[in-house]
Amino acid sequence: MTFWLLLTVNSVTFGGLLFLLSAGFSLIFGLMRIPNLTHGSMFMLGAYFGTTLLSGVLGVRFSFWLAAIVCAIQVAILGALMERLLLRRLAGQQLAQVLVTLGVSFMVADLCLMGWGGDPISVATPPGLNGFIRLGAAVFPLYRLAVIAIAVIFALALWLMLERTRLGAMIRAGVDDPQMARVVGIRVSQLFTIVFALGAGLAGFAGLIGGPILSVYPGIDQDMLPLALVVVILGGTGSLLGSFVGSILIGFIYNFGQALLPELAYFILFLPMVLVLVLRPQGLFGGQVL
Amino acid sequence: MSNVTFARSLAALIAVVALAALPYAIKEVYYVNIASQILLYAIFALGLNILVGYAGLVSLGHAGLFGIAAYVVAYLLVAGHGHVLAIVAALAAGLVATAGFAALSLRSTGIIFIMITLALGEIIWGLAYRWISLTNGDNGITVPARPTPFGIALGSARAFYVATLIVFLIAIVAAGIFVRSPFGAALRGTRDQPRRMNALGYHVWMIRFWAFIFSGLLTAMAGVLFVYYNQFISPQALALTASAESLLMVISGGAGTLFGPVVGAALVVIVKNVVSAYVERWNFMLGAIFVAIVVFMPEGLVPGVVRLTRSIWRGRARTKASLPMTAGPRQ
């Protein structure tokens, strides 16, 4: 019983992390119609930047939460730069854009290997969240519960932003019909930069937040990217609700798969994606047919 | 026989003789091995090009198909079966996997096709990496020996090069016939005008499916050669990097041309071997070349050089180029 409870908490935690990663991926996909294959790299960059900030830059040691915010901003700036300098040059050529993101992801992976070495770097759990909560016989790590709370807060904030603000309305318009959005005077290309930066920042944030659970290692980008891909295919592109439900679902499948069938965990992970593709190509909550 | 056809046949004959004479002209085993690598990757790129260049469907999962064939050979050889059975089974497994890939991914075109093939390729990689009882995980499988067809041992670099060359010639002739056949014309039609082809009564999905199968067959052949060349297979050969590398060969040489992928394979293998001899940063180079080619010479080296020289000769303004593969909207 304890085993199952703990597995459930781990699944929801991982789902929360995946949501932070894939919400941006889904928005970028919905708006720009391209899978951003650097998204895993953004996750990894955030984590590596974070570890550097935690160990101290120029004698200044950052607290965990401050480091998370700073590394998110750093990665967001990188994302905006990439959108402005590279993807903008190839506007309208989606295939070329995808290939460029793929190329950049290899460059980032190699640069990280150069900068931070090949050994995994563990991230200490932030002070105050080291403890456990006891519920009967079950013991829940406090940090994992905190990650769930963070994911829920971000989901709510993103939802409010998309549904209740002017920027959100413009993004929704861009997702639904970019041409018409342009016609009514929305600067969609500016939205591209904003959403790209937002998505990259969220991924970078998730990178450090996930650090105490996953640690940081070369290749984590290639581990996380397919997960984001699966979540978005499952949930539907451009849909926040889709990302949320898809993330939790994949969180469960991933963790239960790892625990029960470790050799086939990766395979089981992709089964729901295949099922969705065959039975409901637009994803569970997506508007656009894939 | 017209003059042009004659000149072409002569050029092809000279090229074949030159390729066959290569291992006797260069003595160093190292360079003969690099030539073998170029040829086997050229077969891989030819296969991928059928899909990328002629069907307009960009696959990022082909290393999975490549790897399945390679793993089947390795697995059966280690289990003590003969070479003939291993090779036939590998090609069959490659074809079955290709059919599965095609059935799932041909539901769409364009970006979504890329995503589905990428995910499928990652599944195969994940299986090779994690299903340790079957694939020995990251340690890979070592293949005991190369085959001896008709009593000729392929153990030496030179003999293996000749065998690879024969398979390569079969592959490029087959690809040439395929591309120039009416079916090849129909395939290009589904790339450029899928709706019109549908209206003309062509079964667009079926045409794409058979193109995928042919592409998968060439890829599986390359996979078999790969495992015999290295006498070793590990999940690294199936990773996304490997798929991207083969796509880079196709795009850098020139997608949708018969010889482009061969040039691309030569470029990538040479750069990879030369660069990795000096620096460890092959992945960075791969990414940088990828970005540079997509941004500056999107149609690839072969058509790109042709275009540039033509515009220089004729003094014409450079025409703007774009990636040739643009599969139309789904049916």
Q: Is residue A263 part of a domain?
A: no
Q: Which residue of B has its CA nearest to A258?
A: B130
Residue of A nearest to B109 (CA): A290
Q: Is residue A143 part of a domain?
A: yes
Mutation for B interface: A90, A99, A273, A279, most B CBs within 10 A: A99
A268 touches chain B (CB under 8 A): no
CA angle, residues A177, A183, A189, in degrees to nearest 5: 70
Q: Do A263 and B112 touch (CB under 8 A)?
A: no
Element (H, E) at A132: strand A132-135
Q: Measured between alpha carbons, how far is B269 from B257 in angstroms, rounded to an integer?
A: 19
The whole-number pLDDT of residue B330 equals 38
Closest CA–CA distance from residue B295 to any residue of chain A (Å): 7
Q: Is A145 in the B-facing interface, judged by CB distances under 8 Å?
A: no
- Contact B239/A at CB under 8 A: yes
Full set of structural domains in chain B with CATH = 31-314 (1.10.3470)
The number of folded domains in chain A is 1
Asked whether residue A254 is assigned to any structural domain, the reply reads: no
Residue A72 CA to residue A79 CA, distance in Å, equals 10
* Residue A273: inside a domain: no
Return the residue of B nearest to A288 by Cα. B112
- To the nearest whole angstrom, how far is the Cα of B12 from the nearest Cα of chain A? 33
Is A269 in the B-facing interface, judged by CB distances under 8 Å?
yes
**Does residue A16 sit within a domain?**
yes
What is the span of the domain harbouring residue A149?
2-219
The closest CB to that of B130, out of A233, A266, A278, belongs to A266
Which among B48, B104, B108, B122 is the top mutation candidate for probing chain A, defined by the most A β-carbons within 10 Å of its own β-carbon? B122
Looking at the complex, does the CB of residue B286 fall below 8 Å from at least one CB of chain A?
Answer: yes
Q: Do A102 and B60 touch (CB under 8 A)?
A: yes
Q: What is the pLDDT along chain A (290 residues), one digit of tens a residue?
A: 777 888 888 888 899 999 999 988 888 888 888 888 899 999 999 999 989 888 877 777 788 888 889 999 999 999 999 988 888 888 777 778 888 898 899 899 889 988 888 888 888 888 877 777 777 767 778 888 888 889 899 988 988 888 888 888 888 888 888 788 888 888 888 888 888 899 999 999 999 998 888 888 888 888 888 888 888 888 877 778 888 888 998 899 888 888 888 778 777 887 777 778 767 766 667 655 44
In a domain, A59, yes or no: yes
B145 pLDDT above the threshold of 80: no
For an interface test with A, the pick among B68, B109, B115 (most A C-beta atoms closer than 10 Å) comes out as B115
Q: Which residues, at least 6 apart from A191, have a Cβ–Cβ distance to it below 8 Å?
A: A31, A170, A171, A174
Query: What is the overall mean pLDDT for chain B?
Result: 84
Q: What is the pLDDT of residues B13-33, one digit of tens each?
A: 888 888 877 777 787 888 888
Cβ pairs A/B, distance under 8 A:
125
For chain B, give the number of residues: 331
Residue B220 pLDDT more than 90? Answer: yes
Q: Residue B46: what pLDDT?
A: 93
- Name residues whose C-beta falls within 8 Å of residue A280's C-beta, 6 or more positions apart in sequence: none
Most confident of B198-207, B290-299, B315-324: B198-207
Contact B110 A273 (CB under 8 A): no
In a domain, A285, yes or no: no
Phi, psi of A59 (to 5 degrees): 80, -5
Residue A9 maps to a domain:
yes
pTM of this prediction?
A: 0.84
Which positions 246-265 of A are in contact with B (Cβ < 8 Å)? 262-265
User: Inter-chain contact A106–B241, Cβ cutoff 8 Å?
Assistant: yes
